Each structure stands twice: as C-alpha cells, then as structure tokens.
Structure 1
Amino acid sequence: MTGDLLLADLRLLAPEVLLAVGAMAFLMVGAYTRAQDGAARIVSLLTLALFLVAALVSIFYVPSEGGTAFQGALIVDDFSRYAKAAVLLAAFISLILAQNYLEQEKLAKFEYPILMALSVLGMTIMVSANDLITMYMGLELQSLALYVLAAFNRDSLRASEAGLKYFVLGALSSGLLLYGASLIYGFSGTTNFAGIAEAVAAEPSLGLMFGMIFLLSGLAFKISAAPFHMWTPDVYEGSPTPVTAFFATAPKLAAMALIARVLMQPFAEMVHDWQQVVMVLSVLSMAVGAFGALTQTNIKRLLAYSSIGNMGFALVGLAAGTSIGLWALLLYLTLYVISVAGSFGIVLSMRRSDGMVERIEDLAGLAQTRPGLGWSMTALMLSIGGLPFFVGFFGKLFVFYAAVSSGLIIFTVIAGLLSVVSMAYYLRVVKVIWFDEPDGSSFLPATFSVNAVVLVTGSATVALLPFMYVMFRFVMQAGSGLG
C-alpha cells in the first residue's frame, strides 16, 4: 500500500522528478566530458530537451484530477499544471536565447544550464507548494541558483555587483518571509495551507494578518513589486543579458502563481484584509514602473522598470480576489512573458563589431537598417504597453475587467491612467526605431535561434488574436482550479 502511494505521489510530481534527476545526471555528463566547449553544448541541448519533456509531462502525463502528495506538502491541480508548463516553456526560450551569447562572450560553461534546471525545479515546487516549509524550500532553491546566474560573468564588475546586490537583498526578503511564516505558524498551529485556512476561518486574528503581510512582503520581492523593487534595475543591467531575460520571465511567473495560491487558499477568508495590501503594492509598482522608465537610457534598465510596472498590472487581477481575477492574471502573465522574451531576443541582437550595446539610442533607424527587427520590436513594445489590436491589450483589458467586476472602480481608474503614462516610454522606443537617423553602423547578423524567437514572439503579438478564445478556455480552467 505504501509503495502504491509513493508511486502515485511520484506520478503527480513527475516534472519535478525529471528535473531533479536530469540536473544531477547532466552534472555528471558535464564533469566527465573532457572538452569544456563540448560539455557546455551537450548539456545545454540535453537541458533544452529536459524542459520540453517536463512541460509535456506536466500537460499530458500528470493525472488531470490532481491531488496532494507527500502528506499534503505539495498539491497538483489545473492551476499548478498550467503554471508549470508556462514556466518550463519560458525557461526553454530563455536557454535558447543564451546559447550564442555565452559562446561569443566566452561564458559557455556546462554549469549554466544546470543552474537554470535547478532554479526551474525550485519554481515548479513553488507553484505546487501546499505548506509553508515546502514553499520556502522551493523559493530558496530557485533563489540560490539565480544568485549565481546573476554573477555568472565573474570577470565583469557589473555582474559581480549585480549578484551581490541580489543576494544581500534576497536575504532580507527571506528574513521577512520567514518571520511572517513563523507568525502564521504560531497563531494557526500548522504550516499546512489547509490547516491555516481552517484557523483563519475559525478566528482571523491580528497575528495571522501580520504574518500574512510579512509573508506577502517577502514574496513581493521575488516579483520586484514596489517598494521591494530596489534590486531590479541594477541586477537587470549588470547581469549577462540572457540571465536578465530569464529573470524577467519564468521566475516572475512562478512567484506570482505562488502569491496567488497563498492568498486565495489559506487566506481566502481574509480577502478584504489582503486586498488592500495588494492594491497598495499594485499602485506603487505601476507608478514606479511608469515614471522610473521615462528617464532611462539603457534598454535593459528600461525593461526592468517595465517589469516592475507590469507586475503592478498583474496584481490588479489578483486584487479582485475572484476566480475571474485569477484567470485574468494567468492570461496577463502568459502574454507578458511572450512579449518580454522577444524583447530580450532583440536586445541580444544588438551586437556590433566592438561588442554588445545596450543604449536605447543604439536602436536609431533600426526600421531602415534591419526592418525585421524594427517591426518586431515595435510590435513587442506596443503589445507590452497594451495598445489595442495587440494581444497585450487583452491582458490589461481582462485584469481591469476583473477589478471592475469586484467593485474596485477607483483602483481601476488609477491603473488605467498609469497605463497611459507607461505608453510614453514604449512609444519613445518606437520613435527611436522609426524616426531617428541611424549612426552609420548596423548590428551584426543574429543567429538562427535568436531570430526565430524574435520572429515567433513578434508575430505572436498579432497572430495569437484569432486564438484568444482557446487561450481563454485554458486560463479559465486553470484559474477555476484554484479559485
């Protein structure tokens, strides 16, 4: 009987098992492959296959009815299955973008894809966490790998500084999170989410509310929501560009999914308490992102502030506190990840004979010198900004709809106004691409893989429009699984 239960648990957690075994096996492959360049290439290809297989396993092999594993420590439902598949596909795209850059910058080492795999393992544990201890294990496994990735270019002072800042501030966020978890445990008597939900329903005490606020503060750091955003611009700018692309996609999606699970399950009865906190985080993030990006000259810093603002817009859906808000949140994050991955693909294409360039003014005249990149970057910027006739518009439309349907009218109006402000810096990039004169030099041709990512994601900003109904069905099913 025990063996049958173990097999059932392992089937529920098949993606995590694959990632853990694969990462350890690939570590051995890299360590025992003599040629360093060959090891990096082999392990990267194996890790790409691992991400793709794990995503397919999450969708097709894990039982659709879900359940809990390891005595309730982890939970598998439609919400977690969707989030895992999205995280794995985002990691797959990020690793594709990294290959050529790492080789050109002499950073191609087999440890890079293994660190990514371990980080993604932490993310999949996060989205399935059903216990405070499991949640913390997933968060730290993700974070420790990301700290190393941020400083992966050891010869770069900027990268070393980025890794150190991320580590120090990450330790602060872990302290906040653990203090909140200890308060929750002290006032509920359990670390299991179902037990906490029972304690909250029986007596929603002030201690539980304070614990929830500290816990949410620690988690807000992971999505770079203001006022816990201070690490984001420096770390985005200093880290190697493919690492920054990874930071901006999979970890944000996983952390936001975890926040949604924590608030909508153990603290569902305290919705009117945490709703106020989420709205404050949302407004601050949208404001910091909108106004902070206006003065940026570095494209990676601009995308960092864009990330802060977009996490604020995603929180608009969560603030609704309904199943509509949950599926709107998932839709928004999915469309955002597609667009931001393409944007970083274009940043990785900004290479000249003297090396990589990152200034916004280096995009001048891109529509004339590289029309394909110019059109793609235009579509991606306008989609992230939420302009109508691009898929990003539907992301914002439905998070706003979720907030309005919950009666948060003033909050939605503020979000709409800040969305208009944020369009200014996206349009500024478009203006540089189309109306500024090129300086005479052009970017070197990008690799096929980077061009493919840029082409697919740029086209997706419009090409996905006829398939929005299909996406609605997927995210509605996932959102109803949690709400």
Structure 2
Amino acid sequence: MNSLYPELAHALPEAILAVGAIVLVLFGAIRGKDSSGPTSEIAVAILGAAILSIVLGSPVEGVVFNNAFIDDHFADFMKVLSLSGSIVTLLMSGDFMRRAGVDKFEFPVLIVLATLGMLMLISANGLISLYLGLELMSLSLYVVAALSRDDARASEAGLKYFVLGALSSGMLLYGASLLYGFAGTVTFTGIAAAIGEHPNMGVVFGLVFLLAGLAFKMSVVPFHMWTPDVYEGAPTPVTTFFASAPKVAAVAIATRVIITAFPGALGQWQQVIVFMALASMALGSFAAIGQTNIKRLMAYSSIGHMGFALVGLAAGTQAGVQGVLTYMAIYMVMTLGAFAAILSMRVDGRPVEKITDLAGLSKTDPAMAFFLSMLMFSLAGVPPLAGFFAKFYVFMAAVEAHLYWLAVIGVLTSAVAAFYYLRVVKIIYFDEAAPAFDKATFTQRTVLALASLAMLLFWVYPAPLVQAATSAAKSLF
C-alpha cells in the first residue's frame, strides 16, 4: 500500500478526472433534469484542477504501475494541451447546447471521461495501457457524436464514427497482438530491445496495423473518410471537441510509440508516415476547394494539418518531434478560435453553416471579421503569423533529415490550401453583405479574440512555447 502513494502522485491528473467523473454522474443523477448548467461549470473546475496538478506538480519523471504508465515532460506538455482544448470546448458550448435543446448533463461527463482516456493514452508506456486509454476516449466520443438523437444528421454521424472506429480499434488490437507475439513483451522499451536494428516481417506487419489504428484517430489519409461527415453532422460544440483535444492525444501516442518502441525500424515506419503525410497534405489541400459548408471545410483543413504535423514526425529526430509539438499547440489554438467564430454564426436564433453566410461580415461585425481573417491567414501559413512558424519548424526538421522532396511537396500543397482560406477572407471583405449574425456570447468572442491575437503576436515572443516543446521532445530521446 505504501508504494501506491508515490505511484498515484505521477497519475494525479488522471485520478482527479476519474474521481471528478464519478462526482459528476452522482450530481447529475441526484439533480435530475436541472443539472445541465452547473454540471458544465463543475466539469470545467475538474479539468482546471487537473491542469494545475500538472503545472504545479513535481518535475520528477517516472515510470509507474509495472511500467504501464510514464510521467515525463512530453506527457505533461500534451496533457496541458488536451485539457485546455476540453475546457475551452465546454466554456463555448453551453449557449449552443441550450438553444439546440441538447444541454444534457451527460455531455460534460462524457467530455471529462474522454479527456481521462486522452491523458491515459498520452502517458501509455505499453500496448495494454495504450488500448485502455484509446478505448475510454473512443467510447465517450462515439456517444458524444450522436448526442443530438432527434437530428438525423447527428445520428448518422455517430453511427459512421462508431462503425469505422470499431474497425480501426480491431486493426490496432491485431497489430498489438502481433507485436506482443514477436517481441514477447507489451512495454515500448521492451519491444525496442527485443526487435533490435533488424525487425522481422511479423513485427513490420504489427507496426503497420498499429499505425493504421492510430491514423484513424488522427484522421489522416487513408483513414480520414469519417471526418467530413462527422464534422458536418455532429453538433458544432462536439465538432469543436473532435477537432482539438483528441487529435492532440492521437498525435502524442503515435509519436511516443514510434520514437520509443521502434527506434531500430526507422526505414520501415518512415515509409508509412511519409505516405500518410503526403496523402493527407494533398487531399486536405485539394478536396477542401469545392466545399460550401464551413464545418466540412474545417474537416478537410484538419486532415491537411495532420499531414503537415506528420512531416515533422517522419524526420524521426528530436527537432522533428519538437516541430510536431509546436505545430499541435498552434494548430489547436487556431482551430478553437475558428470554431468560436463558427459557433457565433447564428441568424434569428438558428445556426448557419454555409461559407456564403459570412459574406460582408466586415460591414456587419468588423471585429469578428478581422479576428476570423487573421485565423484564416494563420491556417494558410502566411508570415509572420504563428501558422507560418508551425509549418517552418516541421519543414526544417524534414530538410535536416534529408527529406527534401517531402518538404517541397509540403510547401506546394500549403500554397494550394491557401486558396480556400483566402477565399473565406475575400467573402468576408468583398462580397455583398448577408444577414447580420446574432450577438455572440462573451465566451465565444473572447476565445476568438485571444486565439487570433495569439497567432498575430506569436513572433514577438515565441520562446515559452518553443522552449517547452524542446524540453518535452528531449524527454523522448
């Protein structure tokens, strides 16, 4: 029993979320139908307490629970990102869920449980803990996607995500069982020691299946097919959540698995990552051009951005991992800001989702027009905004790893993607004004303003983020 307390100290954020989720369920059950409002506030407090436990906790790294769980700077960095995404989603979603009639107390509970799964996933140090974290996250996301039961599109989105998610979980589990069979251990360091410099065909098969399962959660090509339909069909706050925190967790575990479990199989996994990066950048850039729905546009945008993030991972170096971490932090801020604007798109109390609904926004709401335009410029990678630096770091890592052609294709697809981001800016400033939006909530306007100002002013003082990402990347090597 005495040895359990030091181990629990390393898993304090997870313990806070687990206890918090139980408290929320009991609170909701006791309060009944009146519980929806306070439940969100309590959930935000629980997630905030988890962040504080990471930021103020001991900087000592450790591997606990029989090598199943690792607490290091890499995990801390990604956990703070995931928790932040969950908190912002909950803060922005209250008004939308109330108006849509789906402000059930289960929504904050499921967000907390999904976030608990993400934290377990980010700190997984073996195949079993990886699968446990992934499934806890996924099962919560399946329910959240179909939360609006009376909406046919939301039900269809939930069903598509569930069916394809179950398939991807099966593939991941098959890959994990192959790896266990050939390596004789489930821990990542044990697998690295067992397979050495020359992995056999069975290990390569296991690695490919494992990456396929993780690729689904990252929504990279060729496992992206659910993304546009689920983004469009799910309620907008749910889409906001899908686009931010779970992506961070999926990229985190993919990075940890590749760097710590397969350092000797660089030639094998690099081919898979390079293919997924190229295909995702290309599809994300070209498929978004014809979109008319802003949420579908953001879906293809996120596929493209995951491709750009994988360029850094393909390098397989510390600089590459640092690039991935910086990219994910900047991507999440841009995405949350953009979705704050999408949540504000409401005419006569009814949400609108067409890109043309933004026409003439500069005349009806100049502040929102400016902030959203800055985010679009940043997503396009226009200097000196933060989105440019995010791409710069991953492309430089690829160049240093002699993957010149990958960086060149990344720059070219980035130029193609700029077309549809700039088209949104053109519609906002130069098209005939559409009906004015209803007044956005204070939280939505605040998130939009802070996100765009962070992107605009990142170049003034990038040191804190870059240093934190460097420290996090170093702990993996």
- The two structures have a TM-score, normalised by structure 2, of 0.99
Is the Cα contact below 8 Å between 2:217 and 2:247 reproduced in 1? Answer: yes
CA deviation string 1:406-441 (max 9, x = no partner): 0101111111111111101101111110110113x2
Superposition deviation, residue 287 in structure 1: 0.6
Q: 2:22 aligns with which of 11, 24, 35?
A: 24
Match of 2:181 among 176, 186, 190: 186
Match of 1:370 among 365, 388, 391: 365
2:470 aligned with 1:479, yes or no?
no
In the TM superposition, what are the counterparts of 1:126-141 in structure 2 within 5 Å? 126-141=121-136
Which one of 219, 224, 234 corresponds to residue 224 of structure 1? Answer: 219
- Runs (5+) with no aligned partner, structure 2: none
Query: Is the CA contact (8 Å cut-off) linking 1:132 and 1:181 kept in structure 2?
Result: yes
Are the counterparts in 1 of residues 16 and 46 from structure 2 also a CA contact under 8 Å?
Answer: yes
Cα distance in 2 for residues equivalent to 1:200 and 1:387: 43
Matched pairs, number: 477
Structure 1 spans left out of the alignment, 5+ residues = none
String of CA shifts for 1:116-161, please: whole Å, max 9, x gaps. 0000000000000011011001000000000000000000000000
Please give the secondary structure, in 1, of the residue aligned with 2:63: strand
**8 Å CA contact retained: 2:274, 2:310:** yes
Report runs of 4+ in structure 1 exceeding 3 Å deviation. Answer: none
**Superposed CA offset, 1:49-95 (max 9, x none):** 1111101111221x312111111011011000111111101111111
Paired residue for 2:161, among 137, 159, 166?
166
CA distance in 2, matches of 1:171, 1:64: 37
For residue 50 of structure 2, what is the aligned residue in structure 1?
54
The question of 1:315 aligning with 2:310 is answered yes
Residue 245 (structure 2) aligns with: 250
Aligned position for 2:261:
266
**Partner of 1:68: helix, strand, or coil?**
strand
User: 1:48 deviation in Å?
Assistant: 0.5
**Residue 467 (structure 1) aligns with:** 461
C-alpha separation in 1, matches of 2:450 and 2:406 = 35
Which of 278, 302, 312 aligns to 2:273? It is 278
- 1:15 maps to which residue? 13
Which residue matches 1:110?
105
Aligned to 2:228: 233
What's the secondary structure of 2:46's corresponding residue? helix
Q: Structure 1 residue 460: deviation in Å?
A: 1.1
How far does residue 205 in structure 1 lie from its aligned partner after superposition?
Answer: 1.2
Letter in 1 for 2:365: R
1:209 aligns with 2:204: yes
Alignment partner of 1:408 is 2:408: no
Task: Quote the Cα distance in structure 2 between the aligned partners of 1:422 and 1:95.
Answer: 30
Equivalent runs, 1:320-469 vs 2, <5 Å: 320-353=315-348, 355-439=350-434, 441-469=435-463
Q: Which residue of 2 aligns with 1:43?
A: 39
- For 1:103 and 1:41, locate their aligned partners in 2 and report how far apart those are by CA, in whole Å: 9
Determine if contact 2:70/2:123 at 8 Å carries over to the other structure.
yes
1:234-282 CA distances to partner (integer Å, 9 max, x unpaired)? Answer: 0000000000000000000000000000000011111121111100000
Cα distance in 2 for partners of 1:325, 1:303 equals 25
1:463, CA displacement in angstroms? 2.4
Asked whether the 8 Å contact 1:59–1:82 carries over to 2, the reply is: no
Aligned residues: percent identity? 47
Q: Which amino acid aligns with 1:149?
A: V
What SS class does the counterpart of residue 384 from structure 2 fall into?
A: coil
User: What are the Cα deviations for residues 355-414 of structure 1, in whole angstroms up to 9, with x where unaligned?
Assistant: 100000000001111111100110011111111010111000000000000010111111
Read off the aligned partner of 1:435 and give its amino acid letter: F
The answer as to whether partners of 2:360 and 2:432 remain within 8 angstroms in 1 is yes
Residue 72 of structure 1: aligned partner: 67
Q: What secondary structure, in the 3-state scheme, does the structure 2 residue paired with 1:482 have?
A: coil
TM-score, with structure 1 as normaliser = 0.98
| C-alpha distance in 1 between matches for 2:471 and 2:380 | 26
Aligned CA distance change for structure 1 residues 444 and 265 (closer, same or farther; 3 Å): same
Write the distance in 2 (CA, Å) between the matches of 1:410 and 1:121: 39
* 1:467 Cα deviation after fit: 2.0
Deviations along 1:104-124, whole A, 9 cap, x unmatched?
111111110000000000000
Is the contact between residue 56 and residue 85 of structure 1 (CA under 8 Å) also seen in structure 2? no
Q: Does the residue aligned with 2:224 lie in a helix, a strand or coil? A: coil
Counterpart contact for 1:339–1:383, Cα < 8 Å = yes
